[in-house]
Every structure is written in C-alpha cells, then in structure tokens.
Amino acid sequence: MAGIFGTDGVRARINTGSMRAESVVRLALAAGRWFADKTADDGRMTRPMVVIGKDTRLSGYMLESALVAGFTSIGINCRLLGPVPTAAVSYLTHSLRADFGVMISASHNPHHDNGIKLFGPDGYKLDDAIEEDISALMRGSIALAPPDGLGRARRIVNSDQRYMEFAKATFDTAQSLAGMRIVVDCAHGAAYRTAPNTLVELGADILPLGVAPDGLNINLNCGATEPSGMAKAVAESGAALGICLDGDADRLILADEQGQIRDGDQILATLALDAAEQGTLHGPVIGTVMSNLGLETVLAKHNIGFERAAVGDRYISERMVKTGSNLGGEPSGHVLLPQLSRTGDGLIAALQILSIICRTGKPASELLSCFTPIPQRLVNLRDIDKAVLSDKRVTAQVAAVEAELGGQGRVLLRPSGTEPLIRVMVEAVDKARLNAAMDKLVTVLKAAS
C-alpha cells in the first residue's frame, strides 16, 4: 500500500516515524482536507465532524491533541469519546452522523507502540484508495481554514454507555446471564469499563481481570495475546466461560469451563455450525491464510463453504462483501459479524457465544471443541527485512519443505502488517515433520538476512 498506511491504519513506536506529534498533525491535516473537500463536493453547508476514540496508552493523550490540532485547523469539529473500544468508534461514527471517525490504538501491541485507524461515515474502515489519496495529500501543500472557520472540539461524556446499549442489543432479549460466572480479561485496555459493565447488566457474576490501566500496562502479560492467566482464573473460580480481549477490544480469545483456551478458529467454527443449523448463515465462511486446516475440514463435513483471505480483518471484510458472507474471522480472535457490527468486536462476538450457551444448555467445552486443530507453529523473526522473502535461497527452501510435506501440511512466510517482523507458519499432521520444516525455514531466513 502506498504512503504511511499499513494493513490496519498507521502504526509505529511512539515518537518515531509516523507516530511523532508533527507527523500525526500532518496526517490530520491531510485526512481532514480530504473529508472537508468531499463534504463541499457533496453540497453540504454544515461543518464536517469527526469522532475520536482511543485506548488507554499514555501516548493517546499526545496523539489525541495532535489530531485535534490538525482537524480543527482545517475547520472540522471534533467529538472526543475518550477510552472506548475500536468498535465503539465505528458505531458512534455512524450513529452520530459524523463524516469520519478515528481510533487511536496499536491494538495488541505493547504500550510503546501506537496507531491510528480511520473510519468512513458508514463506520467501515477506509478503502485503500482513500488512504492513498490521504497519503498523497500529506506530501503537498494543504489549505487551512480562515481564523473564523476553525473547528471546535468537545468531549462526549456518555460514549461508553451509548456503546454498551448497542452491544447489549445484540444479545437475545429472551435470555439472561443470571447465575453465570464469567471471567473477563480486558488487557488494561479500551474495554476496561464497557465489557465488565455490559456483562453485569446482562446478569452475569463476573471476575474482572486487566481493568486497572495505568497508561503503560496495556496488553502486559494479559489479554488476548496472553490468555493463560484468564484460563487459570476460569478453572480456579468455577466460571462457565473466560473472555479475553486485546487493547482495543477487537480480538476475542475464550477459555471453556475447564480452562482450555479456544482461539478464533474454534470460535468461528462454533458460530458457523450454529448459524447453519439456525438457517442464518449466508455465503461461505471467510478465514485467512493462517486459519487452521482443521477449521476448513469441519466446515466441509457440514457442507459449509470456506474461503481464505489475506491476513487482516479489512481483507476478510472485503472478501465477505464480494461473496455475500455474513461470518468471517481469523485465529488471532478477530470475528466479523456484519449483521451486528461494522468492524471486529470482541465483546459482541463473546455475547453470541454466550447466547448459544444459554439457548442450548451445552457447556463451553462441548460447543468450542468443534474440531481437532492440525498441529501448527508460528515463529516471529524480528529485525529481518521483508526483502529476504524474495531471496533465491529462501524460495528454494520453501519449495523443498512444501514438497516434503506433500498434501499433509502448509507453509506460509509473510511480513507483518502491524509489527517489524517476518511471520513463519508451518502446519503439518506430523509434529516431527512440522518441527523439522520450521527449523529449516528459520535457519535459511536468518542466513539470508
């Protein structure tokens, strides 16, 4: 993708590159100019408006101020939501009839990273073409508003309550979570208030984890990327389910009542099989190149179509639109339910699983074990330039490993779209062959770097 945008907005270590204050002001000027011009082209006489949310990183205050400075200097009114999930920004952008929305978050990354995601007036993430236009504007001269045309900024004090009502509306009103104990780990992130409070208002007895953000502890040994603590709490407390969200709450990892961790593939399979049984599944289920072969196999057994998109919820969403699908996701825990939310929402996905538990009376361990995963290993190699993937030594070794695995496994090498690293994935029925293949790939990548 041209310009500063990656697979999920703009992301970098704070005070470096695109996450310096001056860079963020420049991004706001360019994005503001693009949307202001579009408003003028549409014949709108009212001043454009943007909603801005953030997670709990210390750097969010700095980036919020930089965005407000850029947007108001273009003449755009800013509505500040405070710490809310990414899905809340998507929802409120549409609900408040804003011209666009911004989420300040680096999702599952550590506190020292941050990022900016942009949403259109429909609440969906921007198309690549618009991001390319904004990138081009950043490189040129940007017209500012006259002194009497500056935008205004004010805070929306009840943004979390608005989002909670939206989330609760996706849960069957005939059902209640009364008497159900649930562990919920919010990763000290954006959902530290909304997720526990929503579950309590639906009747649950909750054990909250990761709900004391200090600006530096987001995703630190907790949340969707570190669910072991949540799983242990489930087993020790006798909870019916454990819910793990990430820093901006768009990922979901679960633990059943036995403390067994269930990733996005198992969640996707559970939702797909139930929707097919209820007659509400449309089109194929959309996964990614990282989705476990076991997921594809179990869906095929039930005559459910399955297609793979590139990694990233935006690419899953694009494929869903093309195929008419109403269910997609990836192993990391992004679950897309477009009939309920315009972007990935960990809390809403969890509520759908809880609804199935309530309706069927089945324990989570039964519902969330739809298939036996094919053994899979993922290794992240840092400080290796993505150009190494084109090296002849690497491509030759990949071809040799794939030939050795035959039809009993898969290999995937790709640069991360959100972090400076190369991801190496090997999947094989036989663990010994899997480990041998991974060792060969890692060795050649390091030698070629």
Residue 141 CB partners (closer than 8 Å, separation 6+): none
**50 pLDDT exceeds 60?**
yes
Contact 420, 449 (CB under 8 A): no
All domains of the chain in start order, with CATH:
10-157 (3.40.120.10), 163-367 (3.40.120.10), 376-448 (3.30.310.50)
Residue 107 is among the residues annotated as catalytic for this protein: yes
In the numeric block, which tokens belong to residue 346?
A: 């960990």
Which whole number is the average pLDDT over 430-435?
Answer: 90
User: What is the crossing angle of helices 159-168 and 86-95, to 10°?
Assistant: 90
Per-residue pLDDT band for 421 (boundaries 50, 70, 90) equals: confident
Q: Where are the alpha helices (DSSP H) in 211-262?
A: 228-237
**415 pLDDT exceeds 90?**
no
Which whole number is the average pLDDT over 379-403?
Answer: 91
In the numeric block, which tokens belong to residue 58?
A: 């210390």
Catalytic hit among 59, 105, 107, 332 = 107
Q: What is the pLDDT of residues 363-375, one digit of tens each?
A: 999 999 999 999 9
Please report the pLDDT score of residue 178 as a whole number: 96
* Radius of gyration over every alpha carbon of the chain, rounded to an integer in angstroms: 22
Contact 10, 421 (CB under 8 A): no
> Which range (126-140, 202-216, 248-262) has the least confidence?
126-140
Give dist(CA 392, CA 212) in Å, integer.
Answer: 49
Task: State how beta strands 409-415 and 252-255 pair.
Answer: unpaired
**42 pLDDT exceeds 90?**
no
Residue 86 CB partners (closer than 8 Å, separation 6+): 53, 103, 105, 107, 117, 190, 248, 249, 250, 343, 344, 345
**224 pLDDT exceeds 60?**
yes
Contact 3, 130 (CB under 8 A): no
Residue 186 CB partners (closer than 8 Å, separation 6+): 192, 195, 196, 208, 209, 210, 211, 223, 245, 249
**345 pLDDT exceeds 70?**
yes
Q: What percent of the chain has pLDDT over 90?
A: 86
Instruction: State the distance between the two ends of the chain, measured CA to CA, in whole angstroms.
Output: 23
Average pLDDT score over the chain = 94
Query: Which amino acid is it at 354?
Result: L
Please report the pLDDT score of residue 5 as a whole number: 86
Q: What is the pLDDT of residues 285-325, one digit of tens each?
A: 999 999 999 999 999 999 999 999 998 888 999 999 999 99
In degrees rounded to 5, what are phi and psi of residue 422?
A: -105, 130
Give dist(CA 228, CA 17) in Å, integer.
Answer: 34
Q: What is the pLDDT of residues 250-282, one digit of tens each?
A: 999 999 999 999 999 999 999 999 999 999 999
In the numeric block, which tokens belong to residue 413?
A: 């090498």
Per-residue pLDDT band for 1 (boundaries 50, 70, 90) equals: very low
Contact 71, 28 (CB under 8 A): yes
| Nearest C-alpha neighbor of 30 from the set 106, 89, 118, 146 | 118
In the numeric block, which tokens belong to residue 330?
A: 């990836």
